[in-house]
Structure 1
Amino acid sequence: MVPVLLSLLFLLSPAVPQETQDEHYSLSFLYTGLSKPSVGFPSFQAIAYLNDQAFFRYDSNSRKAEPLEPWSQLEGMEDWEKESQLQKAREDIFMETLKDIMDYYKDGKGSHTFQGVFGCELWSNQSSGAFWSYAYDGQDFIKFNKEIPAWVPLDPAAVNVKQKWEAEAVYVQRAKAYLEEECPGMLQRYLQHGQKYLDQKDPPSVALSSHAAPGSTRTLKCLAYDFYPRGIRLHWSQDGVTQETKSGQVVLPSGNGTYQAWLVLEVPPQVKALHACHVEHITLDQPLVAVLWDKSQGAKAAEDVGTQPQ
């Protein structure tokens, strides 16, 4: 079970590319605790991200913070033994909180998930931001407001957690200092070692496909692949007019440090018109336009013109 908090990490990357956008960097941590872990899923795991790239991983089985590719190739980026000890201490507090919530709801035998996401952001204009929130079984549970500063409960059980976490004022000040000072400092240090990986920019390639049984609805698919960063926009047009799709575009990691995205359009069998897929990405001076055309007896796949912006 992977509730809504995971999506917050991807929101750190803009969905719509903008050429004038300031450079943006973020350091974030996603914690997941399971009351009843299954085979292959540890009871606790932490994944650190630099922007949208997984940086290191820790879990309750290995008890080790281990850098992931390509970050493992960089020397001196972190003291991994010290980081492992820190994550172990955080694991203890995190899982204790999960138990407290289950005790509050008197559901010690149930299967539940507790997640937390926290971190900080920096922009090239020197502005910064921070975030820290938790969810229980996919529902907002508690978040930290550094302006007050205080923990803000969003669930009945969170009131008790707030009282426990704020029993000593120093703990609130530590949380505020972490978001405003320690986390940005860590992020700036990491950028000194590996900013080149975060600044990589790979333009998308585009491929189109069309398939349908005779007399049935035709399905057109526009696939953009091998691009980075994640933010991209696809849309279909028919004879120059933008077409609405039943489902939105999908963006997923490719597994090699880049992303792939696709958008599907369903066309009634009687429609014989020129269709084109438009692709916008920060690496492109102007959108790519890939054209799919019809022959007399139906649709045939167009050539990929993804390398020729129009």
Structure 2
Amino acid sequence: MALKSGSWSDPSRPPTTGPRPGTHSLRYFYTAVSEPGPGLPEFSAVGSVDGQRIAHYDSATRRMEPRAEWLARSEDTQYWDRQTQVLQGVQPMYHANLQTARQRYNQSAGFHTLQLMYGCERRADGSIRGFRQFAYDGQDFLSLDEERETWVAADDGAQITKRNWDADRSIAQGYRAYLEGTCIEWLEKYLAYGQETLQSRERPRVQVSDRPIRDGLTTLSCRVHGFYPRSVAVVWLRKGVAVPQETIQWGVVPSGDGTYQTRATIDIDPSKETDYTCCVEHPSLPEDLRVPWVPKSCMMLIVGIVLGVLVLAAAVAGAGFSLRKKNGGYKAAAAHDGSASS
């Protein structure tokens, strides 16, 4: 038994629109589970453009439905009926594929997942690429080598599928043609539909904090949140020089309000160096945003200076008030400097 291939693709070919700046992507995600339950359907499919979810299907509703208002306005009932029919056909195929994968790994029971991610990307320089990747239980299983038109097995369990699909070269050729042709055309069409929403910009907000860990070391954390689109670059600078090898990236995740968030950390020895700055690059920013780390000792000094200035100002104000009172109050003081009216 071999894994069967299946994809969500429309046979019609939408008109190609003009080029747009920036990097854009169209991605589809399929998930099949061996033990479905409340809130976890046996099969689900999600489509997204530039990280924004646009459509959803699952085995409970058995219906492809829009998740982006701009797509719901732009496509008619026939479009959603076609997508629904395709996925209703794909659903049993992925159930069978999951059973096949369990046999490959000698697993007869338990919770298991089979996932597929496929789609295409057009970069700012106009180049394009496609991708089609399977995962089993969250680990790489099989992927398409688009250039060589062959399949790459991640482990021994995927070797049988690789051999079967490599034996029929038309499988890889067909997917490459779809990913580099139809997929890109649909991406352009979706970008035209959702231009106002997809090209909106939300500036990132940055918070820098520190936490002592061990042996005198400290972890600096740079939390970046509230930004859109998803594309962002965060790195720590030491004395103004980027140290990407020492920066730990924690991935970009949705915030739940249509924006994204991420975090970058670095472990330092504050007794040797304290000049660290978090640097953020994002399409909404005219130039990179830099937020320096201020050690607690420096912060206490700054707070002390500010408090000292406030106390001094209060003392000066109090002395002035006392002087005016001795000279007969506000009007007397004003008459003394020649500014009072008769």
- Tell me, yes or no, whether TM beats 0.5: yes
* Structure-1 residue corresponding to 2:340: none
In 2, are the aligned partners of 1:51 and 1:198 still within 8 Å (CA)? yes
Mapping 1:67-106, distance limit 5 Å:
67-71=66-70, 74-76=73-75, 79-106=79-106
Go from structure 1 to structure 2 and tell me whether the alpha carbon gap of 1:76 and 1:293 turns closer, same or farther (over 3 Å shift).
same
| 1:19-68, Cα deviation, whole Å (9 max, x unpaired) | xx952222111111111234421121111111222221111112122222
Paired position in structure 2 for 1:307: none
Residue 281 of structure 2 corresponds to: 280
List gaps (5 residues or longer) in structure 2.
1-19, 304-342
Question: Which one scores higher on RCO, CA 8 angstroms, separation ≥ 6?
Answer: 1
More strand by share: 1
Aligned residue number for residue 34 of structure 2: 35
C-alpha distance in 1 between matches for 2:296 and 2:147: 62
Q: How far apart are residue 262 of structure 1 and its match?
A: 2.6
Once the 2 structures are TM-superposed, how far is the Cα of residue 225 of structure 1 from its aligned partner? Answer: 2.0
The equivalent of 2:56 in structure 1 is 57
Counterparts in 2 of 1:1-310, with a 5 A limit?
23-71=22-70, 74-76=73-75, 79-123=79-123, 125-146=125-146, 149-161=149-161, 174-210=174-210, 220-237=220-237, 240=240, 248-250=248-250, 251-266=252-267, 270=271, 273=274, 275-294=276-295
Distance of 2:244 and 2:171 partners within structure 1: 50
Q: Alignment partner of 2:261: what SS?
A: strand
Please say which of residues 269-278 and 182-191 is displaced more in the overlay: 269-278
Residue type of the alignment partner of 2:26: L
More helix by share: 2
* Equivalent pair of 1:77/1:190 in contact (CA under 8 Å): no
Distance in 2 (CA, whole Å) between partners of 1:147 and 1:266 is: 40
Cα deviation per residue 1:162-205 (whole Å; 9 max; x = unaligned)?
57668977756543443233322322222221133332232222
Cα–Cα, structure 1 residues 191 and 279, in superposed 2: closer, same or farther, change >3 Å? closer
Aligned 8 A contact 1:27 1:50 in 2:
yes
For 2:133 and 2:85, how far apart are their aligned partners in 1?
A: 22
Q: CA RMSD in A?
A: 3.8
Residues 43 and 232 of structure 1, relative CA distance in 2, 3 Å threshold:
same
**Is the 1:227–1:259 contact (alpha carbons within 8 Å) kept by the matching residues of 2?**
yes
Extract unaligned runs of 5+ from structure 1: 1-20, 303-310
- Where 2:129 maps in the other structure, the secondary structure is strand
Provide the rounded CA distance (Å) in 2 between the counterparts of 1:299 and 1:262: 26
Aligned equivalents of 2:201, 2:259: Cα separation in 1: 9
Instruction: Please identify, of 52-61 and 237-246, the stretch whose mean Cα deviation from structure 2 is larger.
Output: 237-246
**Preserved CA contact (<8 Å) 2:34 2:112:** yes
CA distance in 2, matches of 1:175, 1:139: 22
